[in-house]
Amino acid sequence: MEQTKIVLDEKEMPAKWYNIMADMPNKPAPPLHPGTKQPVGPQDLSAIFPMALIEQEVSAERWIPIPEEVLKIYALWRPTPLYRARRLESALGTPAKIYYKHEGVSPAGSHKPNTAVPQAYYNKQAGIRRIATETGAGQWGSAMAFAGGLFGLDVLVYMVKVSYHQKPYRRSAMETWGAKVLASPSGETNAGRKVLGDDPESSGSLGIAISEAVEDAATHADTNYALGSVLNHVLLHQTVIGLEAQKQFEKAGDYPDVIYGCCGGGSNLAGVSSPFVRDKIGGRKVRVVAVEPTSCPTLTKGQMRYDFGDTVGLTPLLMMYTLGHDFVPPGIHAGGLRYHGDAPLICQLYKDGLIEAEAHGQRAVFEAALTFARSEGIIPAPESAHAIKGVIDEALRCKEAKEKKTIFFNLSGHGIFDLGAYDAYLSGKLEDYAYPEEKIKEALARLPVV
Ligand SMILES: *Cc1c(COP(=O)(O)O)cnc(C)c1O
C-alpha cells in the first residue's frame, strides 16, 4: 500500500532547537529601546521576560538543547505526522507531489504550543507566578492557557474584542484550561483606557492587546509577558517542525522543491522552513514562500523600517516590514494573520532573497480551504488556508507545465474553532479587500524617527 503518513518514533524527536541566526548571511538589526532609541540590553527586557528566554533571544549558538521536561510534554502530540496529500493531488490532477506537516494535532489545535510550553517552563524556573498575554483569534491564548496550566501558572489573556465576541468557544477553551480572559481594549490598563477614551466602540487589535499585556507584566513583579510569534526565541522553539520534517523527508526518500507557509508574525513559517533555509544557504536548491492576506500585506506592501511591536509604543522598536503600528485590519477580514509587522528574522531573510512572499484575497483562500477539506478531510485553520492557496496555485502551474515538483507546506492548525469564518464564506458574506496604498503611506509617515 502507498504511504499516506510518514511518522517518527518519539525517540526520533529533535533534542535541540535550530537557531538560524548562526547561519544567516546578514543578522537582523537589533531591537531599540522605545525611549532612548539605543539597542536594548538584557536588563531592559528582564521586567517582562525570564533571563533564559532573553539569552535565547540574542543567542548565535546554532543548536540549543530542549529541556527534558519540555520534551516530555512535547511527547503529548509530537512528533507530528508528515502527510502525503495524495487525494488533493488527484483532485487537482497535478503531477506534483504535495506534502504537509500537520501541526493541528496539538491540544490547542495549532503549532503555538511548541513555544508556549518552553515559555511556561522557563518562567516557572525563574520563579514567576503569573503570565499576562494577548490573543487575536484565540490560538495563542489557548496555547498559553494550556501550557501555563501544566506548570501551575496563572494566565491572564487580553483577547482582541472583535474575536472575543466572534469566537466564544476559544474563550471557553482557555477558561477550561484555567486561564482568565478579558476583552481588549479593557478598562484594566492605562493603554486600554486610553484607546477606549479615544474610541469607546473600538473593536481592538493585536497591537492594542499587546500594549495591555506588556503594561500588566511590567507593573506586576510576579508577572511576565509571553509572545506567541515575532521574537527570535519563539521562532527558535518552532524549529521542531522543520527538523522533524527533514527526518521524515529522508524516510520518504524525497526533498521539497518549494515550501509554503502562511505568515502572520512568521513563527510557523520560520519553524517549518529554517532548517531548509540552512540547506539553501549551503547551496541546496529550495524555494520558501510566505503567504499573507491582501488585507494585511506586510511583506508584499510594507516597508522595512524600525517600528513599535504594539500600538501604544511600549515595546522595543523592531526592524521589520511594517504597515505601521496603528494598523487596524478591516472588520470584514476573517482569515487571521492580522499583525502589522513580521518577525525581524523573517524580514531579514526576505530582504536577502532567501524567502519569497505572495498575498491572496480571502475568498480565494477559503475556496482553497474547501478544496483541501473535501479531499484530505481536515478542515484547515483559515490562516493555514493561505499556504494551501499558494500550494494549489503551484500544483496547477506544475500541471500546466507537466512538472513533477515536490511541494511542502505547514498545516499550522485545524479550523474547527473557526467555523464562524467558514459560515461567513459559505453564506457569501466575505468580500475581498486589498489594504489601500494611501493608508499604508499615511501610517508609515507616523513611524518613529530613529
Ligand atoms: C497564530 C497562527 C498563525 C500565524 O502566526 P505565525 O507566527 O505567522 O505562525 C498561523 N496559523 C495558525 C493556525 C495560528 O494559530
275-297 mean pLDDT: 97
Choices 3.30.70.270, 3.40.50.1100, 2.170.150.20, 3.40.50.300: CATH for 68-109+234-445:
3.40.50.1100
User: How far apart are the CA of 357 and the centre of ligand 1, in A?
Assistant: 16
Residue 335 has pLDDT above 90, yes or no: no
d(CA 416, CA 365): 16
266 lines ligand 1 (CB under 6 A): yes
Residue 333 has pLDDT above 80, yes or no: no
Tell me, what's the pLDDT at 355? Answer: 98
Tell me, what's the pLDDT at 282? Answer: 98
63-80 mean pLDDT: 98
Work out the pLDDT band at 424, boundaries 50, 70, 90: very high
pLDDT digits (tens, 9 = 90+) for 347-391: 999 999 999 999 999 999 999 999 999 999 999 999 999 999 999
- How distant is the alpha carbon of residue 359 from its chain centre? 16
Work out the pLDDT band at 256, boundaries 50, 70, 90: very high
The pTM score is 0.97
Tell me, what's the pLDDT at 327? Answer: 85
Work out the pLDDT band at 23, boundaries 50, 70, 90: very high
User: How far apart are the CA of 268 and the centre of ligand 1, in A?
Assistant: 6
Q: What angle do CA 359, 360, 361 make, to 5 degrees?
A: 135
Tell me, what's the pLDDT at 55? Answer: 97
Reduced to 3 DSSP states, what percent helix, strand and coil does the chain have, rounded to the nearest 5? 45, 20, 40
- Cβ neighbours of residue 429 closer than 8 Å, sequence gap 6 or more: none
- Which atom of ligand 1 lies nearest, measured to the CA of 112? 15
DSSP 11-49: GGS-SEEE-GGGT-SSPPPPPB-TTT-SBPPHHHHTTTS
User: How far apart are the CA of 414 and the centre of ligand 1, in A?
Assistant: 11
**Residue 301 Ramachandran class (φ > 0 left, ψ -120 to 50 alpha, else beta):** alpha
Q: Where are the domains of the chain?
A: 68-109+234-445
Residue 136 has pLDDT above 90, yes or no: no
**Residue 407 phi, psi (nearest 5):** -110, 135
Work out the pLDDT band at 409, boundaries 50, 70, 90: very high
What is the average pLDDT value for the chain, to the nearest integer?
95
- Looking at per-residue confidence, does 233 or 137 come out higher? 233
Over pLDDT 90: what percentage of the chain? 88
User: How far apart are the CA of 424 and the centre of ligand 1, in A?
Assistant: 20
Tell me, what's the pLDDT at 254? Answer: 98
DSSP 395-443: HHHHHHHT---EEEEEE-BB-GGGHHHHHHHHTT--------HHHHHHH
DSSP 151-205: TT-EEEEEEEHHHHHH-HHHHHHHHHTT-EEEEES-SSSHHHHHHHHH-TT----
User: How far apart are the CA of 267 and the centre of ligand 1, in A?
Assistant: 7
412 lines ligand 1 (CB under 6 A): yes
Q: Which of 172-176, 226-230, 310-314, 397-401 has the lowest mean pLDDT?
A: 310-314
Residue from 110, 160, 232, 372 to probe ligand 1 pocket by mutation (most atoms less than 8 Å from CB): 110
User: How far apart are the CA of 270 and the centre of ligand 1, in A?
Assistant: 11
384 lines ligand 1 (CB under 6 A): yes
178-202 mean pLDDT: 96
d(CA 406, CA 86): 12
- Which atom of ligand 1 lies nearest, measured to the CA of 263? 8
pLDDT digits (tens, 9 = 90+) for 291-330: 999 999 999 999 999 999 988 888 899 999 999 998 877 7
112 lines ligand 1 (CB under 6 A): yes
Tell me, what's the pLDDT at 206? Answer: 83
Measured CA to CA in angstroms, residue 447 lies from 126, 191, 291, 300, 450 at distances of 35, 19, 25, 18, 9
- Which of 57, 65, 366, 58 is CA-nearest to residue 240? 65
- Cβ neighbours of residue 392 closer than 8 Å, sequence gap 6 or more: 88, 92, 368, 371, 372
Residues paired with residue 305 on neighbouring β-strands, in sequence order: 320
Residue 198 has pLDDT above 90, yes or no: yes
- Which of 335, 312, 136 is CA-nearest to residue 229? 136
Tell me, what's the pLDDT at 137? Answer: 83
pLDDT digits (tens, 9 = 90+) for 147-175: 999 999 999 999 999 889 988 899 999 99
